[in-house]
Chains A and B, each alone.
Chain A
Amino acid sequence: MDRRATFWMLYLPPLLWLGAFFLIPLLLMFAFSFRPDMRGDFFQLWQPALNQYEKLFSTGSYWRLLWTSAQMALLISISAVVLSFPIAYFLGFHGKQRVGFYLVLLLVPFWTSYLLRVMAWKIMLGTEGVINSFLMYANLTHEPLTALLYNRNAVVLTLVYVWIPFATLPILAALQRIDVSLFEAAADLGARPLHQFLRITVPLSLPGVLAAFFMVFIPTVGEYVTPLLVGGSRGSMYGNIIQDFFTKAANWPFGSAMSMVMLMGTLILVLIATRLINLKDLLE
């Protein structure tokens, strides 16, 4: 058996698997989004219609929710990047020989289950939750604070918490690639520390900062689990409405159209991100 035969053995199983369970489902969803309604059998062919998209584009509330989700994701990713930059800076320039240990310390919470960390926040923030009972126990407040859970702020807080360790990694990778002799050269030429920071550290860490931003932003727009747990009805995001159209409302064609809009938006974001950042620079 030669290299050619081995090729087919290696090639066919993943091609068929990914084709059947990744590509075809997405194409099916695409087709479904052009189905006029839920009537008729699954296998019955339908006349492609644009009415789902028409409804989606003409109903303001869906757009507003998509816009709100994007704004939340923007707030979350900017906060995560801003909060993790000093961490990356500390690890990159002051971590010294313990940087490996510090990094594990930072990543351990990130490695524990996502659902459980979100659940932990739900338990922390609830009316009868840990923060409230602690505040009342310490006599800092007499009435439980209800504003903590089931709103957009709770979703933002929880997701920033979840993403901070993750956002640190690409920034750290960029900082570690900075040639230290640049600082010496700058100092020899009379640049003050702040000047060095603004003219060397900031521009050279920019690819990492951008990568961190997109690595948080892209999955956050499509988020539906965190809003489900800590957001309640007031903290819903676009993904939650998609879920509703497949479970409660059972309007699959419309849910498919909403899903297509999200998929296209995500792919456009990824294209922009890959234009702006050279991933190879960070991975080396």
Chain B
Amino acid sequence: MTTFRNSFPLKSYFFGLIALLYLPIVVLFLFSINSNTFLSFPLQGFTFDWYQKLFASEALLRSARNSLVVALGSSLTATLMGTMVALLMMRYQFRSKGLLVAMAVLPLIVPYIVLAVALFLLFSVLNIDRSLLTVGIAHTVVALPYVLLIVGARLAGFDASVEEAAMDLGADYPTTLRRIVLPMIAPAMVSAWLTAFTVSFDEFALALFLAGTQPTFPVYLYGQLRFANRLPIMIALAVLMMIGTLTLVLIAERVRRVE
């Protein structure tokens, strides 16, 4: 059926590239348990020191807490707003629909530096100090398109006649939303929420502009890269973060597929 029957060259290419993709991650992991401060070969010996020092750093833990707060707040807001837009997009006809949907999707396309600059100007004009709140607002805007796409796809996947049936049987529209629509889109909303959470937790380009004196995790990490002797601790941190976000993404995928 396929053009090239011999799959061996393609297969080796695939696995070669997979190896290259994982190489930097493996290297990070190796140096996070290597006892030398300098990131150089040969590896010196096994240690968990960097991980211990990590949990002893006050500033680091604070930045982790900052990121958690921002990610929680922005992902919940984005899930709520994104679901609202998805419902309007799939179930209503109105004149300004094009504008609303465009505003909800465009953050996916507008370069982050442009959005960062625009929000920076807004907050400066309004005299609002840059803080976790301003980062959270920016993250809500960029996470919203993901929610819209995930929840919208779910809404497109089931028949609106179920809702009509509920209304024919005497349920008013809010009840239909609560009892019929919400349970059906709930898995998609959970998946969208987790996606929005990771989008925010990892986000650096907007946070660097808008965080002010309260660094989020990635911004703190970036600031620490200048100090060579702190590098192994930062690498240990990087490994933990990768494991964390990866777990969330895999759960989100799982939830999305269980349908």
Q: Which chain A residues have a beta carbon within 8 Å of chain B's beta carbons?
A: 1-3, 6-7, 10-11, 13-15, 17-19, 21-26, 28-29, 32, 42-43, 83, 86-87, 89-91, 93-94, 102, 105-106, 108-109, 111-117, 119-124, 128-130, 133-134, 136-137, 161, 164-165, 180, 183-184, 193-194, 196-197, 200-201, 218-219, 221-225, 229, 239, 242-243, 246, 252, 255-256, 259, 262-263, 266-267, 270
CB of B103 within 8 Å of the partner chain: yes
Q: Which of B75-110 contact A (CB under 8 A)?
A: 77, 80-82, 84-85, 87-88, 92, 94, 96, 100, 103-104, 106-107, 109-110
A223-B140 Cα distance, complex, nearest whole Å: 20
A23-B118 Cα distance, complex, nearest whole Å: 9
**3 nearest interchain CB pairs?**
A222-B111, A133-B40, A120-B24
Known: A1-B173, A197-B4, A225-B205. A42 touches B21 (CB 8 A): no
Q: Are A112 and B121 in contact (CB under 8 A)?
A: no
Q: Are B85 and A14 in contact (CB under 8 A)?
A: yes
Q: How far is the CB of B33 from chain A (nearest CB, A)?
A: 15
Q: Are A197 and B3 in contact (CB under 8 A)?
A: yes
Known: A10-B84, A21-B137. A94 touches B144 (CB 8 A): no
Q: How far is the CB of B178 from chain A (nearest CB, A)?
A: 11
Q: Are A259 and B107 in contact (CB under 8 A)?
A: no
Known: A24-B122, A114-B204, A193-B3. A222 touches B113 (CB 8 A): yes
Interface mask (B50-74 → A, CB under 8 Å = 1, otherwise 0): 0000000000000000000000000
Q: Are A22 and B39 in contact (CB under 8 A)?
A: no
Q: How far is the CB of A235 from chain B (nearest CB, A)?
A: 16
Instruction: Please name the residue on chain B nearest to A122 by beta carbon.
Output: B225
Q: Are B100 and A239 in contact (CB under 8 A)?
A: no
Interface mask (B14-52 → A, CB under 8 Å = 1, otherwise 0): 100110111011011001000000111110000000000
Known: A7-B88, A25-B118, A113-B241. A18 touches B11 (CB 8 A): no
A246-B20 Cα distance, complex, nearest whole Å: 37
Q: Are B25 and A266 in contact (CB under 8 A)?
A: no
Could you write out 17 A-B pairs with CB less than 8 Å apart?
Answer: A1-B173, A13-B84, A15-B100, A15-B103, A23-B103, A111-B198, A113-B201, A115-B218, A124-B24, A130-B40, A164-B17, A194-B3, A242-B114, A243-B113, A262-B114, A266-B109, A266-B110
Q: How far is the CB of B118 from chain A (nearest CB, A)?
A: 4
A183-B218 Cα distance, complex, nearest whole Å: 49
How many residue pairs at the A-B interface have CB separations less than 8 Å?
Answer: 243
Q: Are A263 and B172 in contact (CB under 8 A)?
A: no
Q: How far is the CB of A193 from chain B (nearest CB, A)?
A: 5
Q: Are A113 and B28 in contact (CB under 8 A)?
A: no
CB of B162 within 8 Å of the partner chain: no
Q: Are A222 and B124 in contact (CB under 8 A)?
A: no
Instruction: Please name the residue on chain B nearest to A108 by beta carbon.
Output: B246
A122-B222 Cα distance, complex, nearest whole Å: 12
Q: Which of B200-230 contact A (CB under 8 A)?
A: 201-202, 204-205, 208-209, 218, 221-222, 225
Find chain A residues with CB under 8 A from B104 CB: 14, 18
- Select which of B92, B121, B144, B238 is within 8 A of A256 by beta carbon: B121
Q: How far is the CB of B142 from chain A (nearest CB, A)?
A: 9
Q: How far is the CB of A98 from chain B (nearest CB, A)?
A: 11
